[in-house]
């Protein structure tokens, strides 16, 4: 097989490299910058040119090579190319071809175009290694415009009442997706440092984001009544958040589809928005690859594999450590 599943990660013997490995290796091909996929300790890294600045921002001084989307690179006896995954800016699926056998490793992905990330492109293959974070029929996302309309209306109501609206969103991807689609006429937008650091990196690359105020120790929070604050979910309910005075909290996540999660989070509002693929688009993505062999890696893997096998696919669950290491700024379920 062109790819093997090992204790260090997904390995290509023909090219002697790993894809998103979770143990230190000599050469790692990285789909995107989230902490469970881009880990420290590897000898050499390869990612898209668009993902590289964030990965450097998060991992520091590393040996990092870049590749353009759709460019084909020969590594040993393997042909490798990176293709848009639509998950976060710079994210990619990785295509590996060895002696005519084609594998695609999805990383994390979504088919819904968020207007910021490079839109997902299906890649034909024989073997598809796919996430299924939300691999249950209950997970179906509303159009982004509807969710953002709800977020903007919630913010406007709070602003009219003189309250701050504080929304929890993953520091890379979700936060910028929300930010890029806000109605900036409602009021000022403030950001936690974990969010603003990524904002600065993406702005320097040319991604368009509205103006924000970085909250520091010197910021007089009371000068911004009616503001919207974007912060990691872990900051909500903290001493940092309480300094804003009267405020309501919201959380943007696919997990807000589950009532039990909403209750445990104890948020005032939950907004169902995910940077992962939902059930209908998961099935669509699998179909569009043309692959007969499907390898679910993380999420509701057993249920999804069983469903695919009933539909005539050859599906096998592959244990990985994706989704098990939280982002330094986020809880692990902030999908």
The CATH number covering residue 86 comes to 3.60.15.10
Kindly state whether residue 335 falls inside one of the protein's structural domains.
no
Q: What is the pLDDT of residues 25-73, one digit of tens each?
A: 999 999 999 999 999 999 999 999 999 999 999 999 999 999 999 999 9
**pLDDT at position 335:** 53
The four Cα atoms 68, 110, 107, 131 give a dihedral, to 10 degrees, of -160
Range of the domain at 198: 144-271
Cβ(322)–Cβ(131) under 8 Å? yes
Q: Is residue 68 located within the same domain as residue 92?
A: yes
Kindly state whether residue 189 falls inside one of the protein's structural domains.
yes
Q: Is residue 116 located within the same domain as residue 158?
A: no
Kindly state whether residue 215 falls inside one of the protein's structural domains.
yes
Kindly state whether residue 325 falls inside one of the protein's structural domains.
no
Q: Is residue 168 located within the same domain as residue 127?
A: no
Compute the 3-state secondary structure of the chain and give helix, strand, coil in percent, each to the nearest 5.
25, 25, 50
The CATH number covering residue 234 comes to 3.40.50.10890
Classify 31 as helix, strand or coil: coil
Q: Is residue 262 located within the same domain as residue 290?
A: no
Domain boundary residue, one of 271, 301, 323:
271
Q: Which residue has the tokens 């295509």?
A: 95
Q: What is the pLDDT of residues 223-245, one digit of tens each?
A: 888 999 999 998 988 999 998 88
Question: How many domains is the chain built from?
Answer: 2
Q: Is residue 267 located within the same domain as residue 292?
A: no
Q: Is residue 170 located within the same domain as residue 294?
A: no
Return the DSSP state at 253. -
Q: Is residue 40 located within the same domain as residue 116?
A: yes
Kindly state whether residue 301 falls inside one of the protein's structural domains.
yes
Kindly state whether residue 9 falls inside one of the protein's structural domains.
yes
Kindly state whether residue 109 falls inside one of the protein's structural domains.
yes
The model's pTM: 0.94
Q: The sheet that has 247-252: what strands, in order across it?
A: 213-214, 189-191, 228-231, 164-168, 247-252, 269-271
């Amino acid at each position: 097989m062109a790819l093997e599943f090992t204790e260090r990660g997904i390995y290509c013997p023909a090219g002697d490299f790993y894809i998103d490995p979770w143990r230190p290796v000599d050469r790692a091909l990285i789909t995107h910058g989230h902490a469970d996929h881009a880990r420290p300790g590897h000898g050499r890294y390869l990612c898209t040119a668009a993902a590289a600045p964030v990965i450097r921002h998060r991992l520091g001084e590393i040996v990092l090579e870049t590749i353009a989307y759709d460019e084909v690179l020969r590594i040993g006896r393997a042909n490798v190319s990176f293709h848009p995954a639509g998950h976060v800016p710079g994210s990619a699926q990785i295509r590996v071809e060895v002696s005519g056998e084609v594998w695609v490793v999805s990383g994390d992905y979504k088919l819904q175009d968020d207007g910021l990330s490079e839109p997902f492109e299906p890649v034909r293959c024989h073997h598809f290694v796919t996430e299924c974070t939300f691999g249950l029929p209950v997970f179906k996302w509303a159009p982004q415009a509807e969710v953002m309309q709800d977020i903007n209306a919630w913010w406007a109501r709070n602003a009219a009442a003189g309250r701050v609206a504080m929304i929890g969103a993953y520091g890379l991807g979700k936060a910028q997706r929300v930010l890029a689609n806000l109605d900036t006429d409602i009021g000022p937008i403030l950001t936690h440092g974990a969010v603003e650091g990524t904002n600065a990196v993406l702005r320097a690359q040319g991604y368009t984001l509205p103006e924000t105020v970085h909250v520091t120790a010197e910021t007089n929070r009371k000068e911004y009544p009616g503001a919207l604050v974007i912060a990691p979910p872990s900051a909500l309910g903290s001493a940092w958040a309480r300094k804003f005075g009267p405020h309501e909290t919201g959380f943007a996540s696919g997990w807000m589809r589950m009532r039990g999660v909403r209750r445990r989070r104890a948020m005032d509002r939950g907004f169902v928005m995910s940077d992962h693929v939902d059930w209908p688009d998961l099935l669509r993505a699998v179909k569009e690859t043309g692959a007969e062999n499907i390898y679910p890696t993380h999420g509701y893997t057993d249920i999804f594999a069983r469903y695919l096998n009933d539909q005539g696919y050859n599906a096998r669950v592959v244990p990985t450590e994706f989704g098990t290491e939280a982002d330094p700024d986020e809880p692990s379920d902030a999908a």
